[in-house]
Amino acid sequence: MPDTSRLFFALWPDDKTRKTLSRLTQSVSAQTLKWVKPYNFHVTLVFLGSVDKDTEALIKLAAADINAQPFTLTFDALNYWSKPKVLCLTCRQPAPEPAVMLASQLRAAAENLGLHTDERPYTPHITLARHVRHLPQTVIEPVTWQAEAFCLVESCSEPEGVFYKVIQQWPFIKPGANPGQYL
């Protein structure tokens, strides 16, 4: 049986955004849920699932060919998703075109390698808590996320729980820059 890793493409927050998200979770009054650890905050672009090392190498090569522009996401809605029982932040406005294009390109790259991906339209979200039973009645301040790179991330299971490890990061191209010139 080949050695596999559970992988996904994501946006990874800078320290300022991570601290803002952490403060937001501390302001929400809710019981019987499991908060996501601040070091695990991210915005999933495409979930890849269990991937063997050869396919991982190919997905890294495919990702290196993707050119994306920086964009901003404003997370301004707190939502409860009943089927996965999660509390998450979402954007009231549709995702900006560069975000949708990036997710689409990453999905196509994965599918070209035979990986099955989510067919639903891309919806940026940040999972804040799991094992949630209802939406807490809380007013939140919007969280602005400046996306300047995307990452390949591994989901690692440990006795203490799951943690996410960035495997590789690809910076976005500055508007007006040459394709080989990165941030």
- Write down the pTM of the prediction: 0.90
Alpha carbon 55 to its chain's center: 20
State yes or no: is 42 an active-site residue.
yes
Is residue 28 pLDDT above 90, yes or no?
no
List the catalytic residue out of 42, 116, 131, 134: 42
List the catalytic residue out of 116, 125, 131, 134: 125
Residue 174: pLDDT band (50, 70, 90) is low
Is residue 1 pLDDT above 90, yes or no?
no
For the chain, helix, strand, coil in percent to 5 are 25, 40, 40
State yes or no: is 125 an active-site residue.
yes
How far is the C-alpha of 99 from the C-alpha of 109, rounded, in Å? 15
CB of 13 closer than 8 Å to CB of 42: yes
**Domain 4-171 homologous superfamily, CATH:** Cyclic phosphodiesterase (3.90.1140.10)
The stretch 146-164 carries a mean pLDDT of 93
Higher pLDDT, 178 or 148: 148
pLDDT per position as a tens digit, 75-114: 999 999 998 999 999 999 999 999 999 999 999 999 999 9
How far is the C-alpha of 117 from the C-alpha of 73, rounded, in Å? 22
Alpha carbon 89 to its chain's center: 12
